């Protein structure tokens, strides 16, 4: 695969100067240049500085400040070079990565192929991980250092997404990380990366301080120092910004947007994210637990197994109204399981038109002219206005004859039950940088041996969709892979495997004088924050 020469957005070096006007004396004194410092309010805790221990979004987002990966993604989710200047498939089962020369770890030692091979092996050696990274390294069955700056990786069969998998595997110093404990990473002793910043101090659950790495291989960050403060609750995080205790916050509460838009001291950054909200439908049971007749008695036949009923539910949802009113504009209607711009997104698919009369006709054609009873389930503390979204969709369904009830739960309760397929119609949010990845997890026929369908709560199964997804994943030619992925998306959505609802929009708030464009992955990177001149 040909790779573009882009690294990260260019960041000019800058030092703030301060001047103090002395009005009473009529003269001005210019103070010496002071360090450029940035303070960021995080919405979630960073639990470890070991980049291979716990695969979670907040951890990964922060680790990009200390460590690098072979392949990275730009703010729009496109693959770009990082520690690997280029990569290509030599044959169907062999990928070659050419490493950037002269890259230094924070301790001054050079990064080489040996460090890369060690970093690819390390996730499988970690025990008791609450969220392992091994799914990204499992396809690799052999590793070879051709020379100091060339690595070849072998897979058992053709596997096109390998470069994308490697955006999640950070490269560590073999010398520093070998036999290192969690405590040694968290203290900084083993947290030796090649990233744009070095660790200064880590206070778990409270704050993290980092300093610019002046030996960084890429464009230098603008900031000499950055402090991350963990502010998990919405109100304290917003208060910290308004009080000037932090310069930027992520995950701005929707209810506070109007107030912030009217504040002359605050700017907002918004970006459509990779997180798509959709509905999973029970398609494997003849009798579904939360489907009833209008009197509340279980139906002997599960209507959700009929594609006409699934299409009727989709037509009953007024996505534009949902976005504008319930979500306060913080989303856009969805036709795909991934956001626009994501690899494999099928632009031919249009958002389902709101058509309540068409929905009623489909229900009648399927044998349900008077509708039926259905309980909708969803979380109430995970996604933007999630409980209100479930309530709104229930109202839409009631208008076409489906007598809908609502049950929402905290995420800690909801996910366990939903993954056990306890519900008939359940809401899920999903983010991925490739459509074939998403389809494999969400609509692929469940198979514990292959890992397919791990989030397929409704146990949808379609051999034609599975074949297209497999062809996409097995294509090392990026153009062919994306074509298969788009075909698979069309096949799954045409069969209403799930019902896409909307793509969330993430919001950051920052003090005037700063600029941040936001990212599709919702991550907050200090090196992409700039001062405005």
Question: Is 373:303 a contact under the CB 8 Å cutoff?
Answer: no
| Both tokens assigned to 138 | 């499992």
Calculate ∠ Cα 404-407-408, nearest 5°.
135
Pairing of strands 71-73, 84-91: unpaired
Phi, psi of 188 (to 5 degrees): 105, -15
C-alpha 100: how far from chain center: 27
For range 80-102, the mean pLDDT:
98
Residues whose CB is less than 8 angstroms from the CB of residue 258 and which lie 6 or more positions away in sequence, other chains included: none
Going by pLDDT thresholds of 50, 70 and 90, the confidence category of residue 223 is very high
Q: 251-255, 278-282, 426-430: which has the minimum mean pLDDT?
A: 251-255
State the distance between the two ends of the chain, measured CA to CA, in whole angstroms. 38
Per-residue model confidence (pLDDT) at position 34: 56
Going by pLDDT thresholds of 50, 70 and 90, the confidence category of residue 5 is very low
Question: Is 50:246 a contact under the CB 8 Å cutoff?
Answer: no
Per-residue model confidence (pLDDT) at position 6: 33
Per-residue model confidence (pLDDT) at position 13: 31
Rounded to whole angstroms, what are the CA distances from 385 to 57, 322, 325, 378, 389?
20, 11, 11, 11, 6
Question: Is 410:530 a contact under the CB 8 Å cutoff?
Answer: no
| Both tokens assigned to 304 | 């959700």
Exposure string for 35-64, b = 16+ CB within 10 A, e = fewer = ebebbbbbbbebbbbbbbbbbeebbbbbbb
* % residues pLDDT > 90 (the chain): 91
Tens digits of residue pLDDT in 186-198 = 999 999 999 999 9
- What average pLDDT does the chain have? 93
For range 507-512, the mean pLDDT:
97
Tens digits of residue pLDDT in 370-401 = 999 999 999 999 999 999 999 999 999 999 99
- Residue 329: other Cβ atoms inside 10 A: 12
Identify the helix (H) or strand (E) that includes residue 362. Answer: helix 356-365
Going by pLDDT thresholds of 50, 70 and 90, the confidence category of residue 3 is very low
Tens digits of residue pLDDT in 404-461 = 999 999 999 999 999 999 999 999 999 999 999 999 999 999 998 888 999 999 999 9
* % residues pLDDT > 70 (the chain): 94
For range 32-38, the mean pLDDT:
72
Per-residue model confidence (pLDDT) at position 450: 85
Identify the helix (H) or strand (E) that includes residue 194. Answer: none
- Whether the predicted pLDDT of 214 surpasses 90: yes
Q: 29-33, 83-87, 215-219, 317-321: which has the minimum mean pLDDT?
A: 29-33
Pairing of strands 425-431, 373-379: parallel
Going by pLDDT thresholds of 50, 70 and 90, the confidence category of residue 21 is very low
For range 345-358, the mean pLDDT:
98
For range 231-251, the mean pLDDT:
97
Phi, psi of 373 (to 5 degrees): -95, 145
Tens digits of residue pLDDT in 340-349 = 999 999 999 9
Per-residue model confidence (pLDDT) at position 31: 35
For range 332-352, the mean pLDDT:
97
Tens digits of residue pLDDT in 467-481 = 999 999 999 999 999
């Amino acid at each position: 695969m040909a790779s573009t020469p882009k690294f990260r957005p260019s960041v000019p070096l800058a030092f703030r100067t301060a001047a103090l006007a002395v009005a009473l004396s009529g003269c001005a004194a210019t103070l010496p240049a002071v360090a450029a410092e940035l303070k960021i309010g995080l919405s979630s805790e960073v639990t470890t500085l070991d980049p291979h221990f716990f695969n979670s979004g907040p951890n990964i987002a922060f680790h990009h400040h200390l460590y690098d990966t072979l392949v990275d993604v730009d703010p729009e989710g496109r693959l770009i070079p990082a520690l690997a200047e280029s990569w290509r498939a030599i044959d169907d089962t062999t990928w070659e990565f050419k490493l950037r020369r002269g890259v230094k770890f924070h301790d001054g030692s050079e990064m080489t192929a040996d460090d890369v091979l060690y970093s690819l092996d390390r996730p499988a050696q970690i025990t008791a991980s609450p969220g392992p990274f091994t799914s990204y390294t499992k396809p690799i069955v052999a590793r070879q250092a051709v020379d100091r700056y060339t690595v070849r990786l072998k897979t058992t069969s053709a596997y096109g997404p390998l470069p994308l998998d490697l955006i999640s595997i950070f490269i560590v110093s073999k010398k520093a990380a070998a036999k290192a404990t969690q405590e040694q990473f968290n203290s900084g002793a083993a947290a030796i990366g090649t990233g744009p910043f070095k660790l200064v101090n880590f206070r778990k659950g409270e704050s993290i301080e980092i300093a610019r790495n002046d030996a960084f291989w890429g464009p230098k960050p603008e900031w000499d120092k950055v402090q991350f403060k963990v502010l998990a609750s919405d109100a304290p995080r917003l208060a910290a910004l308004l009080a000037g205790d932090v310069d930027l916050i992520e995950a701005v509460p929707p209810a506070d947007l109007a107030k912030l838009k009217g504040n002359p001291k605050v700017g907002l950054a918004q970006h459509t994210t990779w997180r798509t909200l959709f509905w999973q439908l029970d398609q494997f049971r003849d009798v579904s637990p939360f489907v009833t007749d209008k009197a509340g008695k279980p139906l002997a036949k599960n209507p959700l197994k009929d594609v006409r009923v699934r299409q009727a539910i989709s037509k009953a949802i007024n996505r534009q109204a949902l976005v504008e009113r319930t979500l306060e504009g913080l989303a856009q209607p969805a036709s795909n399981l991934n956001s626009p711009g994501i690899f494999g997104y099928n632009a031919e698919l249009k958002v389902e038109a709101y058509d309540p009369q068409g929905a009623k006709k489909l229900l009648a054609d399927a044998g349900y002219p008077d509708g039926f009873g259905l309980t909708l389930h969803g979380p109430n503390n995970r996604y933007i206005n999630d409980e209100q979204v479930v309530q709104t969709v229930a109202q839409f369904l009631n208008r076409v004859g489906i007598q809908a009830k609502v049950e929402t739960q905290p995420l800690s309760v909801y996910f366990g039950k939903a993954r056990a397929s306890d519900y008939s119609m359940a809401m899920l949010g999903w983010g991925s940088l490739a459509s074939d990845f998403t389809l494999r997890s969400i609509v692929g026929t469940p198979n514990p041996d292959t890992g397919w369908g791990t989030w397929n709560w409704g146990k949808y199964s379609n051999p034609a969709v599975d074949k297209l997804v497999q062809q996409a994943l097995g294509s090392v030619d990026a153009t062919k892979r994306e074509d298969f992925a788009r075909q698979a998306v069309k096949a799954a959505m045409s069969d209403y495997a799930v019902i896409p609802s909307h793509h969330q929009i993430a919001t950051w708030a920052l003090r005037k004088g700063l600029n941040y464009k936001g990212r599709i992955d919702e991550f907050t990177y200090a090196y992409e924050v700039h001062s405005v001149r």
